[in-house]
Each structure stands twice: as C-alpha cells, then as structure tokens.
Structure 1
Amino acid sequence: MFSFRVILKAKDILHMGRCLSYITGLLLFLGSVGNIEAQTPSAELLDDVIEVCETGEFQIRIRFTGVEPFNAWIEFSDADEESEWNGERGPAHGNVDAGPPRRLVGGIYDDNSNMSNGIYTYNTTFAEGWLNRTREVKINIVEFFHGEVNGDWIIGQGESQNIIGELLVISHQRPAPFAGDPIDQCGYSTALNAQPDPVSTSYWWELVDGASFGENNSDFANPNALFTVETEGTYDLKFLQENGACTPVESEVQVILKGSPSGEIRTNSEVCGRGDAEVEIELLQGYGPMEFIYQLNGENFIHTGDPGNSYLFPHESVSGKAEFQLISIEDVNGCFAAESQLLGEAVVAELTPQLSAGEDEIVCGTTFSLNAWGEPGDGAWTSQSAFATFSDPDSGNSQVEVSQYGDFVFTWSMDNEGCEASDQITIRFVEFPDLIAQLAEDRICEGDETTLTFNAQGSGPWTVRLNDDDISFGTAVFNQSLSPEQTKNYHLHSIIDTYGCETTFDDLVFSVSVDEMPSPYAGNDREICGESIQMSAVPSIGSGTWSGSGSFNYAADPTTVFYPDPFHELAAHTLRWTEVNGVCTAYDEISVTFYHEVEPMDVDAGEDIEAYHQFTINLNAMTPPVGVGTWEILSGEGSLLNSNDPKSEISGLTFGSVALRWTVKNGICPEISDDLSIEVKGLIHPTGFSPNEIPDGFNDRFVIKGATHISNNRLMVFNQTGEIVYQKQNYGGDDEDYDDPKWWDGRDSSGNPVPEGTYYFVFTGDGIDPVKDYLVIKR
C-alpha cells in the first residue's frame, strides 16, 4: 500500500454586469483509496443541481476510478448567457482567448481526508462578487489523469472519454423587501404600500390577531392590501419575502389607526300637519369632546358632546314627515365619522291620514267599484248628490250606484285621533251606446254596392264591429257601403262609444243577395248590301231583348231579322242586345251600316272624247246617286286631279289615245264600271267652207280644231294678190261648235263678205310650226 498527494486548484465564477471573475484560491486535497483493483479509468460528477443562497456553501463531488493519483481539469461557465471573463482563460494557463476558466485538480491520494471510496468532496463558498444577485453556473470535467505523478499536467494529454455528468449550481439572491412608510390616520382601515424586491414573486404579510388583510385575510399576499382592524391602536406589521434557497427576509412598518367616532339619531315626535318636535342624538364612540351636526329642512345645527351620552333638542312648528339628519361627527383627534357610522333615522310621524280617493274615471252604466285607500285612521264615503247610493260607505272599496247619468263627485274622508283629511274623485257615468241599423237593398247586382245605415245613440265617435271589421264614424248617422262579390251575411256584433263602453248584439244579421252580372254579346259590327240583317247575339244568363231604330221579327230571339225603318243610305244603325238577370242588367251594342246596290244605269263615264291639240281636259261622268266613283287610267298618259270627282280634270295628255274607267262602289255592294277613251289629235282644218248670207248651220265658218288651245296664236288670210283680207290674234272657238261666232265667217276686216275664190292662210302660235294652206270659199 502506498499514498501521495496532488493539489487541486480551482476558481469560482464572478458575474457582475455580464462580467465573470474567477473562483480563486481553491486548494483541493484529494485522497485515494489503496488497493483499488484495476478498473476502467473514469471521472463522474455525482450531483445534477445544487441551489444555494448567495454566499452559502456547496459541495462538488467527483467519483474517480482507475489508478491513483488522480487529477482533472474542471471548467466553470455561465449556464444561460455568453460571459465576459476577467483574468485567465482556459483551456491552459495563459491562453487568454480560449474560453471559460478551467482549473486543474491534481495529486489526489488515498490519505486525503476529502476522499472516500473513490469519491472526492470539495466544499466551497461563493466569492464576494456573487453577493446580492442570482446566478447559474455549469461545472464540467474537461479531462482527467490517473496513475501518474506530474506537476504540470498539460491539457490535451489526459483522458477525455468516460467523463460523466454535469453540475448546475444555482445561486439565489437574497431579497430586500420594503414594508412601506409608517401610517398614522383616522379610521379602521388603510391601504398598505409595501414594495417587494423584484428578484422573486413570493411575498406576504404576517397575519395579525384582530385585523385582516382584505376580506377574511384573502389579500394577505398583496403588497397594497387593505388592512382593517377591529379596534383603534398601533400595529407593527411584517412584510416577508423569500427567493429560492434563501430563508424569508422580513421588513416592518408601524401602522397607527385612530378609529372614528359614531352616533345615532332618533325621534318619537308626532304632529298633525305641523307642531312641536324633539330630536335625540346619542354619541356612541370616539374621543371627546366631539362636535356633531344635524340638519332639518336644509338648516344645520352644531353642538358638542362626549361619547356615551345622549342629547335632546326641541324644535317648534315642524311639519309631518320632516326628517332630522345626522350629517357629521368630529372627535378630538380630528377624525370624522364615516357615513356608515352615522346611524339611525329621525322622521317626524305625520298623524294626518295619507289617503287617495282613487283616479277620476268614466264608467259605462250606473254602478262603479270605488278604490280608495289611506292610513292611519277610519274612513267614509260621502256625496252631495241625492242620486248616488253607497253599498258600504265605510269601505274604501264600496260599490256606488247612481240613478241618472252624468258627472258625480265623491269624497273619501279619514279621521286619525282627530286629525282629519279627505280626497275627491269625479266619476262620469255614461249610458251604454245603442244602434239602429237598416239595409238599403238586400239584393244587388254583381259589382254593385248597397248601403247599411247606422243610427248610433250615445257618445260618439263610435266603432261598430261588423263581421271581422271595425268601422269607425263620428256622426250619429253613418252610411257604410257594402259590395260583396257573392251572397253574404253581415253579422253586427257590437258598438263601442268614445269612452270604450260597448253594447253587444247576439242575432243582428243582414243578408245581401248578389245576382250574377250577364255578359251579353251582340256580335260584331257589320256592313250590309241590302235592307235587312239576321242578328247573331250570344246569350249568357237571364233573358235578352233586341232594341233599335227599325223592326225585329222577334226581339227576344238572339238571331232574329232586323229591318231598318226608315232606310237611310250610309246611316249606321246602333242595335242593342240587353240581358236581364235578377236586378242585373247589361247590354252590348253593334253598329250595322246598310248600302243600296249600284244600278248600271247610274254609272256613265260620258262620251268618248276627241281633242285637238288639247292636253288638259275636264271629264264629264255622271254623278252617282249612291256610293263613290273612282277614275282609273287604264292606258296612255295623263294625270287625274281628283280621282273621285266625276268632273275631274285630266292633264298631262299627249297625242294619241288614253283609256279611262269610271267605277262606282257603294259600301260592300258590287261595283259597276264604265269606260271612256280620249283621242288627242293635232290641228285639223278644212281647205274650204261655204259661208252663206243667211247661215244654214252647215259649214258656215272656218273651224281650225285645236286652235283655241294654242296660246298667242294668229290667223292671217291672204287673197291671191297677197293682200290680207282677214287676220285675228288668239283665234279660236269651240271645237265642237261650228256656229261659234269666234270662228271666221268669211268676212274681211271691214265686215264685208269676201268674194268666192281661192285664198291662202297662215296660222302661227306658241309651240307649233306655222300652218300654211289654201282655202276655197264658195257661196
């Protein structure tokens, strides 16, 4: 067996303002156990967490296995933040920038007093820099050595395997609570103002006999708890706070509660309306002498007294129900009574009965249940009217009955020990309304209406309930229109007047029968070529009849024959088909126009026309006695001025033929036509004529057909010597009248007959070539 020693050096960690100092001056003497059988070398931290209070001691326990002596590098580091370090840094001496501090534990022999069964125990205390703060430090074994005596164990050459465990050391800051400033005040409660240290949230007030922190000490953990005492006095309160492994720290504050005075006010005074009264005030607790104030009708009365005494104060002419109020008590300490300590009430009793006769009412009928009340005392109903009777005049709920309608005043009077009072009500008794109803017509036609007349009695306006409808009106006589779509019964249920009085009717029923309205159809309007028509009405319901200006074979027959009387050409006859069903009447009308047939003899377009150099002609058809005539150009050229004028002008003619047709039509009767032709020729003249001294009406004048239609024309006649024997400006007459004096009769310009012989003429005018020819005159 052998033994030897190894020195363990380590430093604690200092962290102030994110700075960590070393745990210094730790000299560890470690021992070993002899005769340790050969085992796998290892180093194990046996504890996981150690909690201490600031400078409290803690132990680091390491189990070594293997061959002694043992040594190890131990690393100290912050558990919750990156630290800034002052002084040396590991992993080796002098390596300033390599990381957290590391310390060598070396030369641990079996005779070390802190070594037992391979477990080395190191007792230490936090450095002074760890005071008044909370800190967590992790401790790890970086490397360990075994079976070797070496005073300079170099990191990196030891064992880094088989290192077990990690130790967390938690240092709790000792709290510094503040119980608050001393309190000296009136009353029995105060709000505390302790200030706990923010290092922890575990704090409380130490309970006190005869006092409470909040209701039933429910708020003892509140720094600002309401502290309440049963009796005034001085109280030393303790506020405690703990933090982790640190034992509770206490802070004391002195609280002086001087209490507050109290008193009670009362009175036994009674008055009838107004009288003398007395108020009593008793001072219950507090420090005397005390000043107290009571009030009556807004006026303050100030007095002094001592607790435990009662004081009486008389007052004159106090009204009933007046109230004395205790409003303030102040003791010698300047403390005032709280509102809850101003006790009692002092109301002067009013002997005058308090009563009400009830509300004014409007009553339907002649009876009413009164509803008076009052106290104290006895009451009775009276009335100045001889028409009112009370069933029980001493009862506030008496029935009253009147024998006529109108307004009645009733008085309810009460007597309380000679103190009397009364109240009045006015009741208006109203007669129930009544109604007389009369139906104007009990049978109407579909779509029509009848009238139900109401004759109301009572006070209007009224509302009548008819079937499910409410009908309101303000006049005594009112007409209600009824327009049922089919036969219907109307039940008159009730009438209500303006006061809400209602009269009901049991069997008042009005029945209105409704006849169906016919839907007659007389047929369509028609035009007839002739002097009779067969009607074509379509009957619907009821009976029907034809009417109109004329005669019917059988007027009740929808398809009878009608003859107009008298017959008027182009006159439209209005014929009515009327149907009657009960009280319903309806009709439908048609318009019938009758036309005469056109006779062929009444249609004449006139004689065919030959025109000579005439391009506008007035036609000459016969004016039709009936109907309307119309010209139509069948062929050729021309333009009609009015195609319906039998004497219409036709213009725009040209040389040649024009065919026209004159058609007469009367309504729907067959039309009749007649044709006309017009032949337009050029100028036509003879080469001789035989004027007689006495005209025989045959060939007596020189006729140039068409000359009249040549504007600005001129006729010159020459003898064989070239002498002008006759000339005429705008020569011409009627083409068809050979005796027209406008034609030349063979006389010269002096009016003398020219000799027989051969002459020459020249005819000129606008729009024509000159006409030159010979002319033989023979007498």
Structure 2
Amino acid sequence: MDVKLDIVNSSDSLLNVTGSQQIEFEFDQTQNVRFIYIRDDSLCFADTSLIDPMKMVVYNYPEANAGSDAEVCGLSHTLTAVPSGTGGHWNWEGSFVQEPSSPVTPVTAEEYRNYLFLWVDSIWNCLDTDTVSVTFFEQPLSADAGPDQALDFEFESYMNASPPEVGQGKWTVSSGDGYFENDTLHNTFISGITYLKNVYKWTVYNGACIPVSDSLSLIVNPLELPKGFTPDGDGKNDEFIVNIEHAEKLKCLYSTGLVKKYFVRTIILKNRFGAGKIKKGADLPEGTYFYVITAKVRNLSESFVFKSYIELLRK
C-alpha cells in the first residue's frame, strides 16, 4: 500500500510512505496532516476527500531531575524535584512521603540512615526517572571530655572522655600543647604536654548535625624537690631522688658555695643522684649544698633548669 501525505500549513515536501499493514510516520513537532492519496496493492485509489485532516501530536521526552542529594539532621526533609513534564510521582521505601504526586513534598524517615527516593517524570506516555539520596543523622545530645587532671611534673597521660553515642569524636588543643596518639579515640594517649596549665577539647560530630563539645584542663604541677637527704647507708633517704617521670637525661651540679667542691653526674633514665659521694668515691661532708639540675624530658624540646639547695646530714 502506498500513502502520500501533505503537511498542512507547511512548506515541507510531501511524504511518500509505502507499507503493507502498518505504516509509521516520523515527526519532530506537532503537525496537522491530510492524505493526498491512498493506493492499495491492486493499484486502486481510495477516496481521500472524506478523510479530514489529522493532528499528529509530538510530545517532548521528559528529563527527570529528582533534585540534589542531601544530608540532614533529624528525621524530616523536603524532597524538591524539578519537573519537566505534566506529571510525576515519587517511589520510595522505608519512609513516609506526604504528597507522592507532588515534586516538592515533605518526607519523614523511620530511622537514621541513608534513603534513596525515585522521581518518575511523565509527559503523556513517556517516562523518565532520577534518584536522589538523602542521609538522616541523629543530633548528638552532649559530649563529655572526662575529669580534669593534675600531674606531678609528668608530661604524658591518657584522656578519659566518654565515647560518643552517635557520630564520632575528635580531640583538639585549646591552649597549651600536646600530641594525641589518635585524636579520634576517646581514651587516647597524649604526650608533649606543656608545663603548668593545658586545655583540651573533645568534640562529637555527626554528619549535618551541630557538633557538641566539652573541655578539660590538665595541669602539670611544679616539681617538688627534697630539701635534705642522709646518705648514711641505713636504707632510708640515702639518695637525692628527683621525681621526673620519663626523664631522658638529668645533670646535677653541687657546690658548697664556700669550698669549690663539685659533684657532677649525668644519669640516663634514672631519677636519682648517688649517695653523697664525689667522683673518686669519697664521702661528701655534711653541710648545705647548692645545686643546679638540668632535666631533658621525653617529647619536650626544651630542658628544665632547677636551682635550689639541699642539706646533707650523716649520723
């Protein structure tokens, strides 16, 4: 069968289409068409004067746009699709969509996690789809950095924050100094603490929610040095002990202030200075000794210098 069509109100050339039982025409826009002639296989022509012009409607193919992916704090969100056609609807699982046929609609999630929402855009019988991802986060209620700490001239410690119920935590230095072994671990080890007062903050984060934080103070107390010792061999107070934890090197200089006798000694990883003897092994006489102690502590760049005196007594 041969068919010849005329596009009404158009200067386009006529369409000549040949087919058997089903004839297909292609149009790129809506047109009014009329038949010029229809001829069958027997070369007989149909009377086309009785056939009114037909309107061939061409629909645009929809381009679905479900909107941008989102992270929200809480269980509520508003979906915002951008429709390109005359209709559309949402498909989802595990959540409540208030108006499924509206491109802009509130949704309520059942639990804190990620959800995928499918927007189906339609023009006539043409469909297109797009997916939007929404992650719902729970708001952390509080953070607990743990109790304040006071160290006796120590420069290393363990933090003791409460682990976060939701999200993750992180340690930061607010004032002073310090090096966290793992700044996301609630009970991490810290070294390189500054002498005297330090402040550390424990902050709990969870996605799009507002972070919550808590702080603790960590004070390194001044070194308390003894004012006397009795190196008489009775096992009690025989040595001048300097309690500096994690000392890498200690150096002490004694002087009577009158007689120029000195006792100089360097000790590695020990916190004490001899039993009141000079280098050759002779006992130091009783009396008041002035000293200068220089101490290098592990993980600290600067050394500490202490100047004071001590009484040496014997039985």
Q: CA contact under 8 A between 1:707 and 1:713: conserved in structure 2?
A: no
Match in the other structure for 1:582: 124
Count of paired positions: 244
* CA distance 1:707–1:586, shift in 2 (3 Å): same
Q: How does 1:420-439 map to 2 (within 5 A)?
A: 435=1
Q: CA deviation at 1:623?
A: 2.9
The change in CA–CA distance for 1:564 and 1:705 in structure 2 (over 3 A counts) is farther
Helix, strand or coil for the counterpart of 2:245?
helix
C-alpha distance in 1 between matches for 2:45 and 2:158: 92
- Residues 520 and 540, structure 1, Cα contact 8 Å, conserved in 2: yes
The residue correspondences of 1:539-558 to structure 2 (distance < 5 A) are: 541-550=85-94, 551-558=96-103
Counterparts of 1:134-533 in structure 2 under 5 Å? Answer: 435=1, 468=14, 482-487=26-31, 489=33, 512-518=56-62, 522-533=66-77
> Is 1:634 matched up with 2:179?
no
Correspondence for 2:214: 674
Which residue in 2 is equivalent to 1:31? Answer: none
> 1:562 matched to which residue of 2?
107
The 8 Å contact of residues 528 and 668 in structure 1, kept in 2 or not, is answered as yes
Work out the CA distance in 2 between the residues paired with 1:574 and 1:492. 53
Change (3 A) 1:577 1:518: same
Q: Distance in 2 between matches of 1:521 and 1:764?
A: 71
Tell me how far 1:625 sits from its aligned partner: 2.9
Instruction: Judge conservation of contact 2:226–2:310 (CA < 8 Å) in 1.
Output: no
Deviations 1:153-183 (A, max 9, x none): xxxxxxxxxxxxxxxxxxxxxxxxxxxxxxx
Amino acid at match of 1:564: A
| 1:730 Cα deviation after fit | 3.5
User: Aligned runs of 1:602-751 on 2, under 5 Å?
Assistant: 603-638=143-178, 643-647=183-187, 650-684=190-224, 707-712=244-249, 730-731=269-270
Matches within 5 A, 1:758-777: 766=296
Inter-partner Cα distance in structure 2 for 1:517 and 1:679: 70
How far apart are 1:685 and its partner, in Å? 5.8
Give the conservation status (yes or no) of the 8 Å contact 2:85–2:123. Answer: yes
Could you say if the C-alpha distance between residues 646 and 553 of structure 1 is closer, same or farther in structure 2, counting changes exceeding 3 Å?
Answer: same
Q: Secondary structure at the match of 1:677?
A: strand
**Change in CA separation of 1:731 and 1:584 when aligned onto 2, cut-off 3 Å:** same
Q: SS in structure 2 opposite 1:482?
A: coil
CA distance, structure 1, for counterparts of residue 37 and residue 268 of structure 2: 111
> CA 1:578 to 1:648, structure 2 compared with 1: closer, same or farther past 3 Å?
same
CA displacement at 1:592 relative to structure 2: 1.9
Distance between the aligned counterparts of 1:612 and 1:633, measured in 2? Answer: 21
Native 8 Å contact 2:2 2:38 kept in 1: no
Q: Tell me the CA shift for residue 504 of structure 1.
A: 9.7
Q: 1:578 to 1:524 in 2, by over 3 A?
A: same
Output aligned runs, 1:10-25, within 5 Å: none
| AA in 2 matched with 1:532 | S
**8 Å Cα contact 1:518-1:542 kept in structure 2:** no
User: Does the C-alpha gap of structure 1 residues 510 and 482 become closer, same or farther in structure 2, counting only changes over 3 Å?
Assistant: farther
Instruction: Give, in whole Å, the separation in 1 of the partners of 2:206 and 2:139.
Output: 7
Deviation of the 1:611 alpha carbon: 3.2
Equivalent residue letter for 2:141: E
Contact 1:537–1:577 under 8 Å retained in 2: yes
| Deviation of 1:598 (Å) | 0.4
1:591 aligns with 2:104: no
Q: Deviations over 1:458-492 (max 9, x none)?
A: xxxxxxxx9546799xxx9xx98835233564869
Name the CA distance, whole Å, in 2 between partners of 1:673 and 1:580.
48
Alpha-carbon contact 1:658-1:677 (below 8 Å) kept: yes
Aligned counterparts of 1:705 and 1:532: Cα–Cα separation in 2: 62
Instruction: Decide whether the 8 Å contact of 2:169 with 2:185 is kept in 1.
Output: yes
Gap regions ≥5 residues in structure 2 = 4-11, 229-238, 252-266, 272-290, 297-302
Instruction: Tell me how far apart the structure 1 counterparts of residues 304 and 83 of structure 2 sit (CA, whole Å).
Output: 77
Q: Distance in 2 between the 1:521 and 1:709 partners?
A: 63
Question: Cα–Cα, structure 1 residues 553 and 684, in superposed 2: closer, same or farther, change >3 Å?
Answer: same
Residues in 2 aligned to 1:436 and 1:705: alpha-carbon distance in whole angstroms:
113
Identical pairs, percent: 27
SS at match of 1:711: strand
Deviation string, structure 1 residues 445-469 (Cα, Å, up to 9, x no partner): xxxxxxxxxxxxxxxxxxxxx9546
CA distance in 2 between partners of 1:680 and 1:576 (Å): 58
1:729, distance to aligned residue in structure 2 (A): 7.1
What letter is aligned with 1:675? S
Question: TM (normalized to structure 2)?
Answer: 0.56
TM (norm. structure 1) is: 0.26
Q: Distance in 2 between matches of 1:482 and 1:592?
A: 41
Which structure has the bigger radius of gyration? Answer: 1
Distance between the aligned counterparts of 2:58 and 2:205, measured in 1? Answer: 52
CA shift, 1:610, in A, is 2.5
Query: For 1:563 and 1:589, how far apart are their aligned partners in 2?
Result: 17
Once residues 242 and 108 of structure 2 are traced to their aligned partners in structure 1, the CA distance between those partners, rounded to angstroms, is 57
For residue 608 of structure 1, report the CA deviation from its aligned partner. 1.9
1:583 deviation in Å? 0.8
Q: Say what the alpha-carbon RMSD is for the aligned residues.
A: 4.9
